Amino acid sequence: MLVASLIVLAVAAVIGTVAALVVTRRPASTAGPSRRVSGLFYAGTVFVVVVIGLAIPFLLMNENAADAERNTPIDVRLTEAQSAGRQLFIANCSTCHTLAASNSVGTTGPNLDKLRPQAALVENAILLGRARGNGNMPVGLLLGEDAKHVADYVAAVAGR
């Protein structure tokens, strides 16, 4: 993304500069040294304006794109599957569990940031439920891929 913007930027700057030089070219008879200098000055101005005018929006766009990829309050890049897991977590788990990456503060079940469970344990808890005396977690809250995505997500972000 950054490389692409820089290429677009460079091409635009070169086109602007060449256009400025062409526009300011005069017939040889009238083109004294001072005209040549003012042509270069004009070209330089166009170059600077184009670079600044494009560079700032492009840099901001890149920043925003990077934020979108991060998309959690913590500094972990999520895969697509983990992002799907994050959505599912918010809908199915956040009422009972605390997890900073989902801004969830549930207290019925254990705090997942403290527990820092492996993906396999999370998946097992989702599929089988839990009733070991510290409250109940219903069986089969999610199934199949959904359970895997959530497990993957929790393992990636818990405790971060």
For position 109 contacting ligand HEC by CB under 6 A, the verdict is yes
For position 79 contacting ligand HEC by CB under 6 A, the verdict is no
Cα(113)–Cα(16) distance, rounded to whole angstroms? 53
For position 97 contacting ligand HEC by CB under 6 A, the verdict is yes
Going by C-alpha positions, the residue among 68, 76, 75, 71 that lies closest to residue 90 is 71
Alpha-carbon distance values, 22 to 19, 36, 64 (Å): 5, 11, 37
Residue 28 Cα to chain centre, angstroms: 54
Q: Give me 111's structure tokens.
A: 């705090």
For position 134 contacting ligand HEC by CB under 6 A, the verdict is yes
For position 160 contacting ligand HEC by CB under 6 A, the verdict is no
CA torsion angle for 50, 56, 62, 65 (degrees, to 10)?
-120
For position 105 contacting ligand HEC by CB under 6 A, the verdict is no
Q: Which of 46, 150, 156, 157 binds ligand HEC (CB under 6 A)?
A: 150
Q: Which of residues 39-58 bind ligand HEC (CB under 6 A)?
A: none
For position 110 contacting ligand HEC by CB under 6 A, the verdict is yes
Query: Which residues are at the interface with ligand HEC (CB under 6 A)?
Result: 92-93, 95-97, 108-110, 117, 121-122, 125-126, 130-137, 141-142, 150, 154
